[in-house]
Structure 1
Amino acid sequence: MSTRAAPAADRRPATLIAALGVAALASALLAAGSLLPVVEGGRPGFASGPLLVTLAVLPLLAAGVLMLRGRHGASAGVLAGFAALAPGSAVLDLQFATDPSAAVRPELYLPSDLVEHAPAAGLWLLVGGHLAAVAAGVLAVRARDRRADADRPEEEPGAAERWRRRWLLVAVLAAVAAAFGLLMAPVVSTDVYLLARNAFEGPAVALTGYLLVAAALPLAAALAMTSGAGDFARGCLAGLAVAVLLLALPSLVAGVTVPVAELSAGPVVAVLGAAGLLAVAGTPRLAGPAPEQADDEAGGAAVPGKRRLRAATGALAVLTAGVAVAGSVTAQLDSATSGPAPESPARDLLLWAGVLVGILGAAMFVRRLAVVVRPVLSVAWVGVLLAGTAVLDTALTAASVQGPLSAGPGVLWTWLALCAAVVTACCSAVTGVVEREDEGDINGAQRGAAGSGAVEGNLLLPLGAAAVLSVAALGLPVVAAPDYVAAGLWSDFRAPSWGLLATALTVVGALALAPRSRPVPAAGMLVGAAAVLGLHAAALPLSGAYIDGATAGAGFWLALAAVAALLVSAGVAVAGRLRGTRS
């Protein structure tokens, strides 16, 4: 067997060579697009050409050097990681084709007038480069799959698994930090032509691009870290870091060098997140036997850190609750006049969302409760997004109108609550992965005998009803009033709609995972989804008090029906476990 494997490991894979060729085309297109104008008559705010060209060719150089050194898995990972952000980057560049004056990209174009500039060759070269990067990433993943068994043959058995378990959470949190940095304002500017705004305050095309990048970052990091190949994961994290630097580093330099711009915290946070990804990618290989410790529940072997992961999840949840409560009790708007500033009708909703997450977070510190509460928290966190985006709608609306109102301290606390909630969700998800793997490794036979495996098929009917009712409840208004128009999923799409969309995706994702999960985690996720839908229905008594003539809308009754369906589904899951235990 070894005589056949050795030549295969030394042979350069044709697919990886093809991926490097396409990556060379992508680097050439990105470099050329960086040097040419992206709009007719447009010029960058500073001499960004050398920096952009260097960042464009960096993934190709890194992948090529790694391949020449025999690190084929790492080489493929660099191309795959860089490609993960390419679709969002392409959409972000397309903002120059719709409204160049709204694109806050001083490294490519610094607006100096209100004339509508037509897109130029540089834009299409950039878009073509991103598409070529995607093709190179697809080929790189195929090359990695073909060589999975030959990836780092000198690595000790289980070393990649131990490395992954140690650094999984750090890599995901670094990716989340980079994502939040990219969503913040690229620069600070008071110039009338350079409208420096964060992603949510900007135009729809740029917002779509930023959201695609922000969503791809933690997802790609998590997929890379769970790929089973340590070298490929390291390369993928490095490729992600380079892609983040391509977006953030020029904005950081622009904030220092462009006269009408100042440094913003966003690029700094993004660069620090990229540095975290590079740090994880450069960690040394682990050697020796995997450490063991007593399992928290069953007394078997477990990977050290599961208890710490639960404690970290609980601490993040309590932190999320604290900043959410601060965002609800502090002013969202300050008035320059003597009159009082208006308050958001959803502030009480944010308060109770924070209290819910805080109670679940505190329960995570109780050993016997943590394993039951963690699945609930993995869904309930989205309630902070649901309420927080509704609270921010008041400040965003006031900011779009010239007047005496300005953002108050509550805006910052609410933004921090949204960020902390997403970080809590990532930590809870990582903890769930570790718990599931430990349960499968330690108690697989006992779990099958006791009936604690996947839930039975009779759960599908109530889950289907709950999914339909939940999406309908989130898409229709909970509060109806004569002069009140609520944000929705398919009409009047505003800032609260992003919270509704995140909630719908989280709840539907939990419903999709429930049939594949063990009964207790399945029931926990369903209870968490019921809590979120109950919070959504609570908008009527909590927010309706601030709205004249408020009555129950269709979404209120549908939310109550969804809560009932979710609780019935949770009961079916628990009943299935009890039947399996008795048998």
Structure 2
Amino acid sequence: MIRTAEPVSATPTRLRAAVGVAVAGALLTAVAPALGVVDASAPPAFTAWPLLALLALLPAALAALFLSRGQELTAAAALVAPAVFAVGRLLNDLQLVVGPIDASRPELLRPTSLLPPTPTAGVWLLLAGHVLLIAAGVGAMATLGAEPDVRSERASFVLPATAGIVAGIGLFTVPFTSSDALVQARGPFDSPTLPMVGGLLVTLAAPALAVLAASATTNEARKGGLLGLAAVLLTFALPPIATAVAADGIGPAVGPFLVLGAALALAWPQGAAKVGTEKDKEEVHDVELPGPRRLHVIAGALGLVAAAAAVAGATTDHLVFPAGLTAPTDYAARLLWPAAIAIAVLAAALMVKAAVRPAFIVATATVPLAAGGALDAVFAATELSAQPGAGVWFTVASVAAGAAAAGTAALAGAVERDEVGIAKAEPPLPLIAGTMIAALLAVGAFALPVLRASDYVPIGAFGLGVGSWGLLVALVAAVVAAAIALKARPDRGAALLLGAAVVTGVRALEYPLTAARAAGAVPGPGLWLAAAATAAFLISAALRTAR
């Protein structure tokens, strides 16, 4: 009896082809730096091609490994992030063709003069590799398709979403610092058109892909998506760090370390809880904590103390000058007023309504935001002849009391969750989109100045000064609140987003309150982004409560 062969599924064949194309693209991008992308007049800052080759091969190698083990969905999902990021890389690397001297890629070339180097065959291999990776990703997406939710476990959503936002922040900043006039340290907004568009694309892609991978309908696709994204992020994090270590005149920046941390978080094995079950509660507690009601009162009282200290800091002198010298107007301390008002209102509300707690916790970040600028001005002035005044100690006390209030409120939340349990729901796509937009606008609001003037140097969120730490704390509070709000209960999620709106709103108030500090001050891009982020957070809060 003659048996007919069973039909072969087209899906494995298509996926094998996609993985093969990805491997070919990875090989091209690995070989290109070894051959050189420009002539010998601008050699790399150090021998970077072994590291670049290893990083280029890693995502495709992951996909090939999963495919060899029969994990088809995992292999397909692992190719998505390399394809999306390849679009941004393609735009970035086209700058090597149109204007290599403005490319700011010391791992590939370091100009030694103002004469532009000539692109070589290596750059075309690099571009061809990106095109093949994009094609491989398109083929892999066809394999993924629309899968039913067959997960037997519910894995964490907050960690990948937060890691994606942190990666976006890191990709938005400058990758290194430079004292070499021919090697310019540039972020996306400071770059020529092609790298600017490519940089913004990869900045947006990091949180978007993290959220999509974390919300995949199968555990296999989730695993592949997160590991593929982590592998790609390593290609953005490690070369700048290695360049800062190996090359003279080039130093490290915060951004690559944020991207590296995000990559490790995405690749970290995450525990999951069985669907339909709850964790057994401990019958015996070693430490007896106060109830949520009492903790809310304590947190509210500490919040009122923080607000009062901030008011005292805003109304007393931060600097004491020698006799005969007139103290300048302390414009930076004015931002303590809106922070104090916001904290006081929310602290009073927390004492009577527990639902305010998430907004209160996030809004406490306005205290270090305001205090950072005021204290930064004090540190700058004390290097001359001024001495710290009473306002400094009130301001420091407001930060300490605000931190204690936030910690107490967070403890109250933990006790409440232990008593009533955790109810989670999958966030709708409009909420995810609105919240991600708000978080990304917040990144720009804190990374870019809210005012500009010819003789004014704004404080950056990614520096090492006191003011930078205040900006960074506020930024982290806003983006983490956005990530957690997607999985929190609707009322708690809305409160988190309202708290984030308070933080970005205080940031926007910096311009009208402090613009007089510099002659000819005009609004900076951070002002408009802060206003837009505030509106986006408010809209997202409304969406979170919609049924």
| 1:140 Cα deviation from its structure 2 partner | 1.6
* Alpha-carbon distance in structure 2 between the residues aligned to 1:81 and 1:415: 32
What is residue 507 of structure 1 aligned with on the other side? 535
- Give the counterpart of 2:182 among 169, 185, 193: 193
Quickly say closer, same or farther: Cα 1:332–1:138, change in 2 above 3 A: farther
SS of equivalent residue, structure 1 residue 70: coil
What is residue 522 of structure 2 aligned with on the other side? 486
What is residue 227 of structure 2 aligned with on the other side? 238
SS of equivalent residue, structure 2 residue 183: coil
What is residue 424 of structure 1 aligned with on the other side? 477
Instruction: Trace 1:173-192 onto structure 2 (pairs within 5 A).
Output: 173-192=162-181
TM (normalized to structure 1)? 0.58
| 1:115 Cα deviation from its structure 2 partner | 0.9
SS of equivalent residue, structure 2 residue 522: coil
SS of equivalent residue, structure 2 residue 486: helix
Please tell me whether residue 20 in structure 1 is matched to residue 66 in structure 2.
no
What is residue 88 of structure 1 aligned with on the other side? 88
The code of the aligned residue for 1:507 comes to: A
What is residue 133 of structure 2 aligned with on the other side? 133
- Give the counterpart of 1:159 among 126, 149, 152: 152
After superposition, the C-alpha distances for 1:116-144 in whole angstroms (9 at most, x for unaligned) are: 23444333432332233233223222211
Please tell me whether residue 51 in structure 1 is matched to residue 51 in structure 2.
yes
* Alpha-carbon distance in structure 1 between the residues aligned to 2:76 and 2:366: 37
The code of the aligned residue for 2:38 comes to: V
Quickly say closer, same or farther: Cα 1:210–1:334, change in 2 above 3 A: farther
- Give the counterpart of 1:291 among 278, 281, 286: 278
What is residue 571 of structure 1 aligned with on the other side? none
* Alpha-carbon distance in structure 2 between the residues aligned to 1:202 and 1:176: 22
Quickly say closer, same or farther: Cα 1:37–1:231, change in 2 above 3 A: same
| 1:44 Cα deviation from its structure 2 partner | 1.1
Contact map agreement 1:388 1:417 (CA 8 A) in 2: no
Contact map agreement 2:158 2:487 (CA 8 A) in 1: no
What is residue 326 of structure 1 aligned with on the other side? 372
| 1:78 Cα deviation from its structure 2 partner | 1.0
TM (normalized to structure 2)? 0.62
Structure 2 gap segments, 5+ residues each: 1-5, 282-291, 293-354, 387-401, 423-430, 493-507
| 1:63 Cα deviation from its structure 2 partner | 0.5
* Alpha-carbon distance in structure 2 between the residues aligned to 1:127 and 1:219: 24
After superposition, the C-alpha distances for 1:510-539 in whole angstroms (9 at most, x for unaligned) are: 65895x6645x9xxxxxxxxxxxxxxxxxx
* Alpha-carbon distance in structure 2 between the residues aligned to 1:10 and 1:205: 41
SS of equivalent residue, structure 2 residue 225: helix
Please tell me whether residue 210 in structure 1 is matched to residue 263 in structure 2.
no
For structure 1, which segment, 12-21 or 235-244, has the greater mean C-alpha deviation from structure 2 after superposition? Answer: 12-21
After superposition, the C-alpha distances for 1:148-201 in whole angstroms (9 at most, x for unaligned) are: 25x9xxxxx6434x21xxx22112222233333334443343223223355555
* Alpha-carbon distance in structure 1 between the residues aligned to 2:184 and 2:378: 22
| 1:333 Cα deviation from its structure 2 partner | 10
SS of equivalent residue, structure 2 residue 277: coil
What is residue 72 of structure 2 aligned with on the other side? 72
What is residue 499 of structure 2 aligned with on the other side? none
Contact map agreement 2:22 2:132 (CA 8 A) in 1: yes
* Alpha-carbon distance in structure 2 between the residues aligned to 1:409 and 1:105: 21
* Alpha-carbon distance in structure 1 between the residues aligned to 2:490 and 2:152: 16
* Alpha-carbon distance in structure 1 between the residues aligned to 2:94 and 2:215: 33
Contact map agreement 2:171 2:255 (CA 8 A) in 1: yes
- Give the counterpart of 1:253 among 242, 245, 270: 242
Quickly say closer, same or farther: Cα 1:393–1:420, change in 2 above 3 A: farther
SS of equivalent residue, structure 1 residue 434: coil
After superposition, the C-alpha distances for 1:384-417 in whole angstroms (9 at most, x for unaligned) are: 9647733474599649xxxxxx999998455445
What is residue 278 of structure 1 aligned with on the other side? 267
Quickly say closer, same or farther: Cα 1:24–1:499, change in 2 above 3 A: farther
* Alpha-carbon distance in structure 2 between the residues aligned to 1:209 and 1:140: 22
| 1:107 Cα deviation from its structure 2 partner | 1.2
| 1:53 Cα deviation from its structure 2 partner | 1.6
| 1:221 Cα deviation from its structure 2 partner | 0.5
After superposition, the C-alpha distances for 1:351-406 in whole angstroms (9 at most, x for unaligned) are: xxxxx999999988887x999xxx9x97699679647733474599649xxxxxx9
Quickly say closer, same or farther: Cα 1:174–1:271, change in 2 above 3 A: same
SS of equivalent residue, structure 2 residue 107: coil
Contact map agreement 2:451 2:521 (CA 8 A) in 1: no
Question: How many equivalent residue pairs?
Answer: 424
RMSD: 5.2
After superposition, the C-alpha distances for 1:546-575 in whole angstroms (9 at most, x for unaligned) are: xxxxxxxxxxxxxxxxxxxxxxxxxxxxxx
| 1:252 Cα deviation from its structure 2 partner | 1.6
After superposition, the C-alpha distances for 1:68-121 in whole angstroms (9 at most, x for unaligned) are: 212112111211122232222223323334543343322111121111234443
Quickly say closer, same or farther: Cα 1:478–1:212, change in 2 above 3 A: farther
Contact map agreement 1:326 1:413 (CA 8 A) in 2: yes
For structure 1, which segment, 331-340 or 245-254, has the greater mean C-alpha deviation from structure 2 after superposition? Answer: 331-340
* Alpha-carbon distance in structure 2 between the residues aligned to 1:111 and 1:317: 47
| 1:244 Cα deviation from its structure 2 partner | 1.2
* Alpha-carbon distance in structure 2 between the residues aligned to 1:21 and 1:359: 55
* Alpha-carbon distance in structure 2 between the residues aligned to 1:426 and 1:213: 18
* Alpha-carbon distance in structure 2 between the residues aligned to 1:9 and 1:417: 60
Quickly say closer, same or farther: Cα 1:273–1:382, change in 2 above 3 A: closer
* Alpha-carbon distance in structure 2 between the residues aligned to 1:427 and 1:264: 22
Contact map agreement 2:442 2:530 (CA 8 A) in 1: no
SS of equivalent residue, structure 1 residue 191: coil
Instruction: Trace 1:539-578 onto structure 2 (pairs within 5 A).
Output: none
SS of equivalent residue, structure 1 residue 194: coil
Contact map agreement 1:227 1:233 (CA 8 A) in 2: yes
SS of equivalent residue, structure 1 residue 73: helix
Quickly say closer, same or farther: Cα 1:127–1:312, change in 2 above 3 A: farther
Contact map agreement 1:310 1:428 (CA 8 A) in 2: no
What is residue 459 of structure 1 aligned with on the other side? none
- Percent identical residues: 28
Contact map agreement 2:450 2:526 (CA 8 A) in 1: no
What is residue 351 of structure 1 aligned with on the other side? none
* Alpha-carbon distance in structure 1 between the residues aligned to 2:29 and 2:124: 10
SS of equivalent residue, structure 1 residue 13: helix
* Alpha-carbon distance in structure 1 between the residues aligned to 2:374 and 2:129: 45
* Alpha-carbon distance in structure 2 between the residues aligned to 1:245 and 1:326: 32
SS of equivalent residue, structure 1 residue 105: coil
* Alpha-carbon distance in structure 2 between the residues aligned to 1:200 and 1:318: 30
* Alpha-carbon distance in structure 2 between the residues aligned to 1:223 and 1:364: 28
- Give the counterpart of 1:389 among 448, 451, 467: 448
SS of equivalent residue, structure 2 residue 43: coil
* Alpha-carbon distance in structure 1 between the residues aligned to 2:447 and 2:176: 24
